[in-house]
Chain A
Amino acid sequence: MTNHPVQVTTEILAACRTGDRDAFRSLYDTYKDRVYSIALYFFHGDRAAAGDASQQVFLKLLTQIGQFRGDAEFSTWLYRMVVNTCVDMTRRRKRTTDLSDTLPAPARQHEEIEQRQVVDAVQAAVAELPEKFRIAVLLRHFDDLSYEEMAAILNCSAGTVASRLSRGHRMLAVRLKKFQERWK
């Protein structure tokens, strides 16, 4: 993923602190797809869980925005909430994913079916990763964060981030081995 979100300005944050609904909507629009996508793939394609997690993240963000200190990157602060919310939800809920509410959507054309199969396989491989590797891989994929930023988000050292990403990617490579020829 390369498209970076629009920079959230101090004016937008200041307006959010006063309860300005339009400013909050603007902030929400900037990050909503990334937050939702990370949660979606973290929760094995469970749309309901992803929606629930996204709502929790943005409501937490709004209620705690008064405590955001400008000395940290806003995105670091936000993604920390995403990680905490996903991990907390995983601990709370039992894994009873409703298959009717998970990806994939139906595809009709042959190419679409083939493409869908690849996406499904990648999604399944990501879902099988242990939590700590899964969240690291998703953060890196959806918002090209630096190791230092990820270390701040995941509350560990940059070396641990590098190790988790490397191991996570190697585990994915093993699980997606059947697509190796196509990749070459």
Chain B
Amino acid sequence: MEMTDPAAERFAQSMLAELPLVEAPESVWRGIEARLDAGERPRPAPVFRWPRWAFAIAAIFAIVAAIFWRASQRGWIDTGHSSQTIAIGQIGTVTIAPGTRLRVVADRPEEHRLALQHGEIHARITAPPRLFFVDTASGTAIDLGCEYTLTADDRGAGELHVTRGWVAFVWQGRESLTPAGAMVRTRPVSGPGIPYFEDASSELKRAVDGRLDVNAALGAARPRDTLTLWHLLQRVSDTDRAPVYDRIATLAPLPASIDREKVLRLDPEALKLLKEELAWTW
């Protein structure tokens, strides 16, 4: 006889109770100790026990302070022929590639903001989301706890490649959410394009990068490419939206809690729920 849902849940919980807590073997701690002995330490460390570290950190701060002083004096950082690395408060670093021009717009605990005029930066940020921003002529990259490379030319055309975490790229209400392993192109006037995974097929990339070809995108999409289709939902006409949703539902069976009609109406809450369901595979 079939159990009712509450009974099934109670039964599952009682079976889970059989699953014992397993003691971590001592080898785990030995491995950690070995790494600690090899030099891994908390950062930033307010108390320095090792003079060499203290010296190195003091030297880095001096360089960073000099860069910021120069930036504040002249407004802009031009890297010329060499790259530079600057600290972003205590939340990370940005490596600025040669030939890059950028400006520090804000450097406060609640907001760190750069303006990239042209060139390339590589950001490594470890902080709660939405503390680090990079403005370009085609929109703003908003860190959601991540590592990424952003390029831009003077007109604002560029690319965002994310290697860890998530980055939101926004322009006049249009937002592209790009997770690790994915990229998005940005264009002046139209802002961020539709993101896709770097390992997506060339057909899919062509279908969303150039003149939008919805049918080609739907045909080339894999389950992981629901990232692209989720964005596509919000960029196509009302008539094209239903086929996009149906393709998503084929690639990733959706729970009953996802309301198709609300998604098709672009209800923000329904889109968010859909994203949460799909994002697990992104």
Which residues of chain B are near A176, meaning CB under 8 Å? 11-12, 15
Interface residues on A, range: 35 or more
Q: Is the CB of B16 within 8 A of A141?
A: yes
Q: Is the CB of B15 within 8 A of A122?
A: yes
- A98-127 with Cβ < 8 A to chain B: 103, 115, 118-119, 122-123, 125-126
Give the shortest distance, in Å, between A21 (CB) and chain B (any CB): 7
Give the shortest distance, in Å, between B272 (CB) and chain A (any CB): 8
8 tightest A-B CB contacts, nearest first = A36-B24, A173-B8, A169-B12, A172-B12, A32-B24, A169-B9, A132-B280, A18-B47
Query: With A66-B43, A67-B126, A170-B12 known to touch, is A36 a contact of B19 (CB < 8 Å)?
Result: no
**CA separation between A158 and B18, bound complex, in Å?**
26
Q: Is the CB of B22 within 8 A of A36?
A: yes
**CA separation between A34 and B257, bound complex, in Å?**
31
User: Is B46 engaged at the interface, CB distance under 8 Å to the other chain?
Assistant: yes
Among B27-35, B97-105, B149-157, the stretch in contact with A: B27-35
Contact of A167 among B47, B49, B255 (CB under 8 A): B255
**CA separation between A27 and B165, bound complex, in Å?**
26
**CA separation between A24 and B46, bound complex, in Å?**
16
Instruction: Mark A49-82 against chain B: 1 for CB-CB distance below 8 A, else 0.
Output: 0010011001100111111010000000000000
User: Is A40 engaged at the interface, CB distance under 8 Å to the other chain?
Assistant: yes
User: Is A137 engaged at the interface, CB distance under 8 Å to the other chain?
Assistant: yes
Using CB atoms, name the residue of chain A closest to B128.
A69
Instruction: Mark A1-35 against chain B: 1 for CB-CB distance below 8 A, else 0.
Output: 10000000000000011110100110010001111
- A150-176 with Cβ < 8 A to chain B: 156-157, 159-160, 163, 166-170, 172-174, 176
**CA separation between A174 and B16, bound complex, in Å?**
13
Which residues of chain B are near A174, meaning CB under 8 Å? 8
User: Is A128 engaged at the interface, CB distance under 8 Å to the other chain?
Assistant: no
Query: With A51-B31, A63-B41, A66-B90 known to touch, is A166 a contact of B5 (CB < 8 Å)?
Result: yes
Using CB atoms, name the residue of chain B closest to A121.
B15
Which residues of chain B are near A173, meaning CB under 8 Å? 3, 8-9, 11-12, 15
Which B residues lie at the A interface, using CB under 8 A? 3, 5, 8-9, 11-16, 18-25, 27-29, 31-32, 35-36, 40-47, 49, 90-91, 126-128, 255, 257, 272-273, 276-277, 280
12 contacts across the A-B interface (CB closer than 8 A): A19-B42, A19-B49, A32-B24, A37-B21, A55-B28, A58-B28, A63-B41, A64-B126, A119-B18, A122-B16, A167-B255, A183-B15
Using CB atoms, name the residue of chain B closest to A21.
B36
User: Is A147 engaged at the interface, CB distance under 8 Å to the other chain?
Assistant: no
Which residues of chain B are near A67, meaning CB under 8 Å? 90-91, 126-127
Q: Is the CB of B35 within 8 A of A59?
A: yes
Q: Is the CB of B35 within 8 A of A55?
A: yes
Query: With A66-B90, A169-B8, A179-B15 known to touch, is A1 a contact of B27 (CB < 8 Å)?
Result: no
Q: Is the CB of B19 within 8 A of A122?
A: yes
Which residues of chain A are near B257, meaning CB under 8 Å? 159, 163
Using CB atoms, name the residue of chain A closest to B165.
A84
Q: Is the CB of B21 within 8 A of A142?
A: yes
Give the shortest distance, in Å, between B227 (CB) and chain A (any CB): 14
Which residues of chain A are near B91, meaning CB under 8 Å? 67
Which residues of chain A are near B40, meaning CB under 8 Å? 59, 62-63
